[in-house]
Amino acid sequence: MSTTIPKCSVSEMIGFLEILNDYSGTEDLARLARDYGMEIDEILPSVEIAEAMGFVIVENGNTSLTEIGIKFIKSDIDDRKKILKNSMIKLQLFKLVMQALESSPEGRIASSELSNILQVITRHPEKHLRRIINWGRYSQLFNYDSETDEIFIR
């Protein structure tokens, strides 16, 4: 199963989109990295998740904001969260998480159950667990209770 796992934080992806927008919405990835004193490998996680969510298109080394990417950048924080949530639920990873939550009698699952879901996708679920919880919380797709160590549907 091929599933995109966010390998960066939400703020890193947003920062990348804002930088790309500053370049009129289209730029060569190598130039972006060079202009910001970064290695291209450092921006690829943001590019990968932005592309999976439909915010950018990558062709021949150039990255361009899509219509939804431009809408996302121009939106206020509440609308950004809505756009992000709608984009996330199209990704297989978050579909799996939501299926687990919706099939749970109380709409809650322990983070260890989320880790088990991630084992289907990656050999290192613990490496991605907190980041995925943070993406879900930021977008208001789901929430997290630190006292019970459970995620739940809002």
Query: Which residues are within 8 A (CB) of 12 and not within 5 positions of it... i.e. 6 or more apart?
Result: 45, 46
Q: Which residues is 150 bridged to in the sheet? A: 110, 145
pLDDT tens for each residue of the chain, 154 residues long = 347 889 999 999 999 999 999 999 999 999 999 999 999 999 999 999 999 999 999 999 999 999 999 999 999 999 999 999 999 999 999 999 999 999 999 999 999 999 998 888 888 888 889 999 999 999 999 999 999 999 999 7
pLDDT of res. 152: 96
Q: Which overall architecture, per CATH, does domain 10-73 show?
A: Orthogonal Bundle (1.10)
pLDDT of res. 120: 84
pLDDT of res. 126: 87
Of residues 90, 31, 87, 91, the one with CA closest to residue 55: 87
Helix (H, G, I), strand (E, B) or coil at 47: helix
